[in-house]
Amino acid sequence: MSDGGHVWWEDAVVYEVYPRSFADADGDGVGDLPGLRSRLGYLADLGVDAVWLTPFYPSPLADGGYDVSDYRAVDPLLGTMADFDGLVKDAAAYRIRVIVDLVPNHCSSAHPLFRAALAAAPGSPERARFIFRDGRGPGLPPNNWVSQFGGSAWTRVTEADGEPGQWHLHLFDTSQPDWNWRNPDVPALFEDVIRFWLDRGVAGLRVDVAHGLFKDPDLPDIVERRPLSAPSPYRHRPELKALYRSWRAILDSYPDEGFPGPRTAIGEVWYDVPGTLRPYLATGGLPQVFNFQLILAGWQTAAFREAIDSALALTGGSRAPWVLGNHDVARPASRYRLDEGFTPQTVAELIALGDRNAEVGARRARAAALILLALPGSAYIYQGEELGLPEVTDIPDDARRDPAFRRTNAEHPGRDGCRVPLPWARTGTGFGFSLTQDGGRPAEPWLPQPPDWGRHSVDSQLADEHSFLGLYRTALRLRRVHPALGRGTLRWLDREDSSLLCFAREPGFILAANLGTAPAPLPAHREVLLASGPVTGGGLPPDTAAWLSA
């Protein structure tokens, strides 16, 4: 099952792949599964244990693939099922496990079951799989819930007689109808989907909007703006507990010997206090949930320390992996240009900042990477973080794809800036993102890349051990061999200089990170194993982290 009673996911480093932006093998400007397959060697050299693929299923792409029209297929733009099977097989040869996304809160309005619901009459069994209601007055939706992407959470449908009729609920885009989890067809469908992917050899599932799914059957109005952590008519419902226990039973029923070992499921639970995660971590529930505290923490020692302490108190880090970024939030190399943690306003603030502070952001992101990878437990890295990619803030309005941009009438710039296709080469169309079979010129990438993207490319960093990529590769190599790293505990080393974040891990490891503005003396140590920037006799410069042997 594992080494010494431990399972692989407890300290795995998992690399998040946004397939449309990772690598394109057929030159159409959209990343695909063969592209990812051809770059597995890069991921093996980087040193990750698993990849998590965001949705690659057939989708009209109203929400970057999180609007799924078929849960058991590969979008033809991204490849075939044979490509997926080949990917899992090749990844296994590199000892890389594959985790796929499960999107159970909603589907796409192009899903055949939703089309059937639209074609059927109010009150029909087809409609009962979704949340259809009559309005509460002329032209008025059933309640006051708002979509996560802006506007009402209800859209009115046209009935068979051509007249406006019932409304359907969508917590996200209007084309993402919410499933009715109280209808037995829905859990049955998802059990099949879970088994379908586990049968194909995936090591786990990332559960989208895991705090959603069930809604209060009375669909009451929201009377006040609640924190994300508070139970609400559509968040953190008690019914989730039994559901996740049933999924856990399925996961545990899969063979746990050899590769890929015990299967995991990791829930996306957005919250603003870590206690919110507690019910999800109950015994027998989801094996893991994301811990977004480091995304929410600003660049201050106290904020980092609190983020780390609160998550450790909850789980010890193995069941709530650490994350600095993902496909929904502004990239760390840009986010740390501000001193505050991430909020939905961050992208707008970065746009307003123009070119200022770029160096500071990059330095801090390098230091944050060493903090992340020194923490006890598992960590997730979002593609491009290892290249230090900045958030792209100047995407023209007409090239933006995120529904958050459209539905807020451009008030929210959206999440496209962290989804720009990766630069693999210094020059050329798409900076090596797209290859063509005949060596011809590929199409332009589906989201425009900045003109200087090539300087962040894999090719321009590979040979330089001081590059971002060099830092990540060295850190991951050390993490694999150092007995103190991975699962375990940490002990804070109290410092009078409060700008120094400093902890020890046994045996013989110290992390020191300077989140202040003046150089700080290093704690007593034998050797500097790795540092995110130059360390001189004068101590640890601001915005720098070091791994030390004690």
Among 11, 16, 24, 63, binds ligand GLC (CB under 6 A): 63
Among 8, 57, 66, 290, binds ligand GLC (CB under 6 A): 66
Q: Are 326 and 16 in contact (CB under 8 A)?
A: yes
C-beta of 327 vs 456, nearer to ligand GLC: 327
Q: Interaction with ligand GLC in 162-181: which residues (CB under 6 A)? A: 172
Q: Which residues pair with 24 in a beta bridge?
A: 434
Residues 6+ apart with CB under 8 A from 250: 191, 194, 195, 198
C-beta of 83 vs 208, nearer to ligand GLC: 208
Shortest CA distance to 156 belongs to which of 133, 179, 124? 133
* 61 φ/ψ sector (left φ>0, alpha ψ -120 to 50, else beta): left
For the bound state, the minimum distance from the C-beta of residue 172 to ligand GLC, rounded and expressed in Å, comes to 5
Q: Are 177 and 223 in contact (CB under 8 A)?
A: no
For the bound state, the minimum distance from the C-beta of residue 235 to ligand GLC, rounded and expressed in Å, comes to 13
Count CA within 13 A, CB hemisphere, residue 195.
10
Phi and psi of 532, rounded to 5°?
Answer: -80, -10
Rounded CA Rg of the chain: 23
Using CA atoms, how far residue 58 sits from 63, 67, 104, 180, 195, in Å, is 12, 9, 15, 21, 19
Residue with tokens 């924190």: 227
Residue with tokens 């060099």: 470
Q: Interaction with ligand GLC in 84-103: which residues (CB under 6 A)? A: 103
Q: Interaction with ligand GLC in 266-285: which residues (CB under 6 A)? A: 268
Q: Strand 509-514 relative to strand 500-505: parallel, antiparallel, unpaired?
A: antiparallel
Q: Which residue is nearest to ligand GLC (CB)?
A: 66
Under the binding rule (CB under 6 A), the answer on residue 52 touching ligand GLC is no
C-beta of 78 vs 490, nearer to ligand GLC: 78
For the bound state, the minimum distance from the C-beta of residue 182 to ligand GLC, rounded and expressed in Å, comes to 20
**Which of 58-66, 190-198, 275-283, 381-389 is the region at the interface with ligand GLC (rule: CB under 6 A)?**
58-66
C-beta of 290 vs 431, nearer to ligand GLC: 290
Residue 208 bears catalytic tag: yes
Q: Interaction with ligand GLC in 100-129: which residues (CB under 6 A)? A: 103
For the bound state, the minimum distance from the C-beta of residue 416 to ligand GLC, rounded and expressed in Å, comes to 11
Q: Which of 49, 126, 178, 208 is catalytic?
A: 208
CA dist., res. 339 & res. 335, Å (int): 8
For the bound state, the minimum distance from the C-beta of residue 36 to ligand GLC, rounded and expressed in Å, comes to 18
CA dist., res. 300 & res. 307, Å (int): 11
**Which of 63-71, 74-82, 187-195, 386-394 is the region at the interface with ligand GLC (rule: CB under 6 A)?**
63-71
For the bound state, the minimum distance from the C-beta of residue 415 to ligand GLC, rounded and expressed in Å, comes to 7
Q: Interaction with ligand GLC in 239-268: which residues (CB under 6 A)? A: 268
Among 10, 11, 16, 208, binds ligand GLC (CB under 6 A): 208
CA dist., res. 484 & res. 376, Å (int): 9
C-beta of 80 vs 155, nearer to ligand GLC: 155
Q: Which of 63, 83, 101, 268 is catalytic?
A: 268
C-beta of 57 vs 66, nearer to ligand GLC: 66
For the bound state, the minimum distance from the C-beta of residue 64 to ligand GLC, rounded and expressed in Å, comes to 6
For the bound state, the minimum distance from the C-beta of residue 99 to ligand GLC, rounded and expressed in Å, comes to 14
**Which of 42-50, 60-68, 445-453, 542-550 is the region at the interface with ligand GLC (rule: CB under 6 A)?**
60-68
Residue 349 bears catalytic tag: no
Query: How many other CB atoms sit within 10 Å of the CB of residue 396?
Result: 7
Tell me the two tokens of residue 462.
């590979």
For the bound state, the minimum distance from the C-beta of residue 63 to ligand GLC, rounded and expressed in Å, comes to 5
C-beta of 176 vs 378, nearer to ligand GLC: 176
**Which of 43-51, 62-70, 255-263, 343-351 is the region at the interface with ligand GLC (rule: CB under 6 A)?**
62-70
C-beta of 268 vs 543, nearer to ligand GLC: 268
Under the binding rule (CB under 6 A), the answer on residue 347 touching ligand GLC is no
For the bound state, the minimum distance from the C-beta of residue 175 to ligand GLC, rounded and expressed in Å, comes to 11
**Which of 59-67, 71-79, 297-305, 366-374 is the region at the interface with ligand GLC (rule: CB under 6 A)?**
59-67
Among 10, 16, 32, 328, binds ligand GLC (CB under 6 A): 328
Using CA atoms, how far residue 13 sits from 81, 133, 269, 377, 462, in Å, is 26, 44, 19, 9, 20
Binding mask 286-315 for ligand GLC (x = CB under 6 A): ------------------------------
CA dist., res. 144 & res. 108, Å (int): 22
Using CA atoms, how far residue 531 sits from 183, 251, 358, in Å, is 54, 39, 20
Please report which residue ranges of 332-467 form alpha helices under DSSP H: 332-335, 346-353, 358-374, 403-407, 458-462
DSSP state at residue 131: -
CA dist., res. 469 & res. 465, Å (int): 7
Under the binding rule (CB under 6 A), the answer on residue 209 touching ligand GLC is yes
Q: How many chain residues are in contact with ligand GLC, going by CB under 6 A? A: 10
Shortest CA distance to 7 belongs to which of 264, 375, 237? 264
Cβ burial 69-108 (10 Å sphere, 16+ → b, else e): bebeebbebbbeeebbeebbebbbeeebbbbbbbbbbbbb
C-beta of 64 vs 267, nearer to ligand GLC: 64
Q: What SS3 state is found at 91?
A: helix
Active site residues: 208, 268
Contacting residues toward ligand GLC, per CB under 6 A: 63-64, 66, 103, 172, 208-209, 268, 327-328
